[in-house]
Structure 1
Amino acid sequence: MRLEGKTALITGGGGGIGRETALLFAREGARLVIADYRVDSARSVVDEVAAIGSEAEWIQVDVSDQESVKRMAGEALSRFDGIDILINNAGITQDRMLTKLTTQEWQQVIDVNLSGVFYCTQVLVPQMVERGNGKIVNTASIVGVHGNIGQSNYAASKAGVIGMTKTWAKELGPKGIQVNAVAPGFIETAMVATIPEKVITKLRESVPLRRLGSPLDVAYAYLFLASSESDYVNGTVLAVDGGLVI
């Protein structure tokens, strides 16, 4: 029960990696706030968490909207004494080659993947600072480190997340708060499911472990960085990519 007595807020907690993280954290004793734009998905995860025997609440949020994030934080802090763990997991893709990428597609990805992480962290950090402890885990990507064809917006957003992670680790470390990031490779989620099968096959063959990652692989990385086992880990970017980039 590595998270017993802790309350974790997971953005994008209604599906994929977020769902697996919520269920894993529940099994480790955490109370959960499932923050997601998709109401039905968030409710479903809350029901699954309840079946495990842990406490959970769902809150609808659009992380790209600062006012929506402020409302979400207010609701979460009114339902629980505080948020000990923030998992900035929400994210989207709008893939297109540079010359065909529209301004709207660029901005939507930046708003959700980059600004959303900033908004959620900024609004929840003060109550962590007040208590003198907290764990923040941001979702980056190996694409944010090494780039990827057709993902200018996504790569830029994830590179920005890495930059914020390292900056916040320096700012918040002296206040007892650890800030880290996880950089997944190609994970079997709804995002990856949109990629043609022949491309998936090539991706799988390019990974030394010869498989794509599962959402649970990433969830375990989140668990480590959210638990006391990582109390001396700060400002790191943990790659969960099967050795794709070495």
Structure 2
Amino acid sequence: MALLKRDLALSVRAGGGFGLALAFFLIVVTLTPFAVGPNSATLATIAAGILWLGALLSCLLSLDRILALDFEDGSLELLATAPIPLEGVATLKAFAHWLTTGLPLTLAAPLLGVLLHLPAEGFFWLTLSLAIGTPALSVIGTFGAALTVGLKRGGLLLSLIVLPLYVPTLIFGAEVARRGTQGMPADTPLALLAGITLATVALLPFASAAAIRINLR
């Protein structure tokens, strides 16, 4: 709990926290009507996909800060020798990132959906898909941060590593929201989205811990 509280405090104080992610999310949603036109029917059709893409890109903004601050001040080396397993540290880092980025984006998405004329039927499904899918974005992002920790200008490399891994989550998350908006059954993409999240939460903390150990040698 002490480590989680520390990470939450760092996320808020050191920049790259929920405020920046929400601001970027708002900018993406606000600029979309200028790019595709103000037609309500067109915006309603693409609203679910745009909101999911905006949430995904907003998550990218703070990924390089998940482990960078701990590496810079030497805390990461202390955590590697602490009684807490590195797998647990990686899980807590991902959870803290989700609390400061994924959760606020999930709560803000329905409000921003009004700007894109998202149909009323889609608000529940959009929120549900983001609530299930954004934890996977944080866990995958933590894995990418572990791979690039200590590298100079690793932010671009981190994005190149993480973005292809985000694609399945984006596909099924947007599909859940789209089908729910159109009144179609969304059970299959919802189950696949939940499976991706559960698999990443179960497996990637071990990969993240191994990457941290390698980078600290």
Using structure 2 for the length normalisation, give the TM-score.
0.40
Q: With a CA cutoff of 8 Å and minimum separation of 6, indicate the structure with the bigger relative contact order.
A: 2
More strand by share: 1
